[in-house]
Amino acid sequence: MTRAGGNGTEEGPVHRIPVALSSASVYPLSVHDAFAVAGDLGYDGVEGMVTSNHDSQDPDALRTLCGRYQQPVVAIHAPTLLLTQQVWGNAWNKIMMSAAMAAELGASTVVVHPPFRWQSGYAGNFASGIRAIMDDFGVTIAVENMYPWKVRGREARAYLPHWDPRPLDYEHIVWDFSHAASAGVDSYEEIRLIGNRLRHVHLTDGFGGSRDGHLVPGRGQQRCAEALQHLAGTGWDGVVVAEVSTRRARAAGEREELLGETLDFARRHLGRSNTELSDSSRPGT
């Protein structure tokens, strides 16, 4: 991992890990709402998940939102979920269009899921294919850790070659704490082992078992605080993205309270002030 100057003296300015908001955190609201909430709460940017929502697919619309709310797009989440199978055609087209949009918006990272079991042709050259697209568009494509599916209590093979990107030939990895909880994996230990391959973090929490809860960090069993402290202590140069579920928020302001709590948790354990909004900490627009 790259170590930045840690004391702000002759070694250079203190490195601050940005904390951004995933647009998935405001579902079922729109990407527009994600920018508004991120701006109101003082996040450092937005990760745009491409969905059937038109604005999430349109770089011009996203650029307008960036300017309106002073929130850069730090990453694009490609539409590689089950719920977005109809968005942008075949699997390779989804990744290429996501990479093109990321490059156009100045976002450094594209988040992708591992191929599904029924995408055998796509899965066969997935690692080499995403490397080629990275070279073509000049962005990082990082593969997210998933978790085993269970049918009638037995594990079903849902991903090819596997739901776990760690032992596979992927240059860059996204680590999701809720997925790790569902897989029965300790995020703190695994993040330490992943080392330089870790490019991006989805900050959330969960309990063991098959349910993917995407809880506010600190409300589950993952060692989120220790993991963030480790990243800050090593001078990690990626982005932490809040990806928590607020679908059950009903009362006025409840969604904002959950996402504000997540931001406070992240900044506290990254060694940053909760009120710090310095432009120097923001990724480039």
Task: Summarize pLDDT for 117-127 with one digit per residue, the tens.
Answer: 899 889 999 99
3-class DSSP assignment, residue 20: strand
Instruction: Give the model's pLDDT for residue 9.
Output: 39
Range with lowest mean pLDDT among 23-32, 44-53, 117-126, 198-207: 117-126
Q: Does domain 19-272 have CATH number 3.20.20.150?
A: yes
Radius of gyration (Cα) for the chain, nearest Å? 18
**What are the pLDDT digits (tens) for 199-245?**
999 999 999 775 768 999 999 999 999 999 999 999 999 999 999 99
Q: Report CA torsion sign: 139, 60, 54, 178.
A: positive
Instruction: Give the model's pLDDT for residue 51.
Output: 95
Q: How far is CA 244 from the centre of its chain?
A: 11
Instruction: Give the model's pLDDT for residue 83.
Output: 83
Mean pLDDT of 96-117: 96
Listed by start position, the domains of the chain span: 19-272
Confidence of residue 8 (pLDDT cuts 50, 70, 90): very low
Distances (CA, A) of 118 to 59, 80, 114: 30, 13, 12
Would you give the DSSP letter of residue 159?
Answer: B
Instruction: Give the model's pLDDT for residue 251.
Output: 79
Confidence of residue 7 (pLDDT cuts 50, 70, 90): very low
Confidence of residue 150 (pLDDT cuts 50, 70, 90): low
The half-sphere exposure of 178 on its side-chain side, counting CA atoms within 13 A, is: 17
Q: Burial letters for 211-227: b for 16+ Cβ neighbours within 10 Å, e otherwise?
A: ebbbbbbebbbbbbbbb
- What is the spatial distance between Cα 137 and Cα 24, in angstroms, rounded to a whole number? 24
- Is 60 exceeded by the pLDDT of residue 81? yes
112 and 80 Cβ atoms separated by less than 8 Å: yes
